Structure 1
């Protein structure tokens, strides 16, 4: 690459680097809003006489949306490694925002389900791109903290969805929620067009006239193939298993924790409050986990986080007295949710830049199978009448499998600087 091309890439990085984290945080917050909005409007949809939904058909719509997210994550990873992070991020945000808006006008549940699947394709693509960009633009030694900070956006979006649902749905119905979910893109997309930088790795490859995927290794041009070659087969499979377990925990607990606690004898109000405490713990845990990972290394931090999640989930199988149950749930939230985020940070550091988006997308996509499995496991345990205490034993075992799977991956090799 010429000196002028190198200088141009470096100047672009220095000028726009500070925009990467807030813009990616905003995109992930919109993803959090959009992925939770169906759950918020579900009670209203079940009572919407024109559609005649049953709990089974409503669950099918939810699963169809998650399948779209899985497909989007699997497909977008290779795309971002081939056409660049910036362009892919813009496409995914525009796509899911437009399709979310169209959901507000769906004439029947089947069109709604198709729109949710298509929106899921864009939603699934946001996270791998955002993770890759934030990792590439993070200050040296600060990637773990940057990634976990970005992921707090998901929970902020989820909380805002719940609050807006309380204010909007009872008076205006369910359709305006999808209009509200699409509107922020009117501001975010123009700002991204102006300020979101491209991966400096991709810019160097393009300036050199080389295919993007060939920038890191000339002998391997397909980033999908690279996941299974050159010593990456074992890490790839291990990360898939860990992501499956991590998202099984996240979605299983978020879906069924109130009902599991009610089956343990807690009142409904207390059970819902415990769900809020769980998610407060998630935000706190992410802010702590990234700093710990930056200090001791992402591999030991990820193993420790899954092990701690196993411990505190098992502890919840004991009926704790008084306010100590809230402390137990808070601690479980601190470790359960951020354990999976640390997996993403580990992946970002374990693979070379030119295949990073594909690695993140594949782990996120396979993990969505866990996101579907978690609620099914919780529902089966509740139906069988053994959700308490066996639900927590099973969730603790899942966290243990996650810890074992991630422990077989060696520590990340030092990667060359992105400038």
Structure 2
């Protein structure tokens, strides 16, 4: 008797996005929203800390760098862990972990203690992000995968923007520590809901050879009308990774793509954190009030949200890496313009919004395209290591900004320097577009996984 075979990815690709899949995307969006709030919080409260502790603004450079170092190590470590033990346990653990650490950050009473607490918090923040991307990728139909991932990742930009709005009010009424209290309470409250509602990746379960009834149950939630024969064997067109998982990023012709996408992430995140960490301080130094500076900086993330929503469809419909290159090219222009508009509130809002549209939208697009370029068995590792390498850039960016500020460079020249990294990212993305033989979204070779009893 021949046993029926069900290709899980074909089932997902052939159906409309179901309510269950929307739930998965929404929960991942909630996680990255909280992640975005907590990641960007230090940039919004930095001017208030400088005034409260009477320290030089450059003294906070190690604080920015420590948090980003934690983000880097968290992404590098938890990506492979999730490829070994699953997306769900890593996601919910990291969410609870960075929530608790954010609460503890509110007890900081010196630059030294703030450095330590932001580093440890960053470990959890860095671990959550690549796994939210991977889980969304593995539940999204191929035809709208980039759009779905980018819409999910709007949560990060929305969380970062809400951080600016919340900081403007909380700091004036309760002091800067209240921002971290809010950033800690929300993920702790979300933890039990995530544990109860978030499913494991169905593609991960098949690749790992998990129980067939578990896979069948998830398929029925995706499509209650689906006919799943008794004793069916579930497959995906991918192989289980063998050997050291990070080495697989360079196997089967993936090496050039991996190196180029690392360059894109490095330059993109260098620029993103250069701007988000120092823009409120630079604007404040030009004579604009702290609360207004926070709101102007929040427009960077608002622009990122709109950019993400519009760019996702373009990436799905046209050559995705060509579109990414054009996005970063436009980003370099807007970043340069920020340094030329002076203290005009309207012009600052417009140029900061445009820079966010392209830089944040481009980075989220890079997240989606990277997740779609690696197979399930190494997807969290691929995204995690790209983000981890990018985090080196995010550490270097604030350090460069702090150094330029300490040298009292004119604002125009500071943003001329800030425009260069995204221009390099544009060139790297263009090179990837010529490497269409670089890692395929789906590796050939049918992976036979779970079967129902």
**Shorter-chain TM-score category?**
0.7 to 0.9
**1:17 match:** 21
Alignment pair present for 1:288 and 2:310: yes
Q: CA RMSD in A?
A: 3.5
> Structure 2 matches for 1:354-373, cutoff 5 A?
354-373=377-396
Q: How much does 1:285 deviate?
A: 0.9
Q: How much does 1:224 deviate?
A: 0.6
1:316/1:69 CA distance change after superposition, 3 Å: closer
**2:32 match:** 28
Q: What CA deviation, in whole Å up to 9, does each residue of 1:208-260 have, x standing for no partner?
A: 58xxxx99435733221101222111111111111111011111122334566
1:221/1:215 CA distance change after superposition, 3 Å: farther
Q: How much does 1:354 deviate?
A: 1.1
**1:122 match:** 124
**1:198 match:** 200
Work out which of the residue numbers 331, 334, 356 in structure 2 matches 1:333: 356
> Structure 2 matches for 1:3-402, cutoff 5 A?
16-46=20-50, 55-106=57-108, 109-207=111-209, 216-217=238-239, 220-257=242-279, 268=288, 274-316=296-338, 319=341, 326-402=349-425
Q: What CA deviation, in whole Å up to 9, does each residue of 1:360-407 have, x standing for no partner?
A: 111111111211222222333344444443333333322221111122
CA distance in 2, matches of 1:17, 1:26: 14
TM-score (norm 1): 0.85
CA distance in 2, matches of 1:167, 1:251: 23
Q: How much does 1:334 deviate?
A: 1.5
> Structure 2 matches for 1:403-414, cutoff 5 A?
403-409=426-432, 410-411=435-436, 413-414=440-441
TM-score (norm 2): 0.79
- Please say which of residues 351-360 and 248-257 is displaced more in the overlay: 248-257
Query: Helix, strand or coil for the counterpart of 1:197?
Result: coil
CA distance in 2, matches of 1:208, 1:334: 41
Query: Helix, strand or coil for the counterpart of 2:372?
Result: helix
Q: What CA deviation, in whole Å up to 9, does each residue of 1:60-99 have, x standing for no partner?
A: 2332122111110110111111111111101111111122
1:187/1:347 CA distance change after superposition, 3 Å: same
- Structure 2 regions of 5+ residues with no counterpart? 212-235
- Structure 1 regions of 5+ residues with no counterpart? none
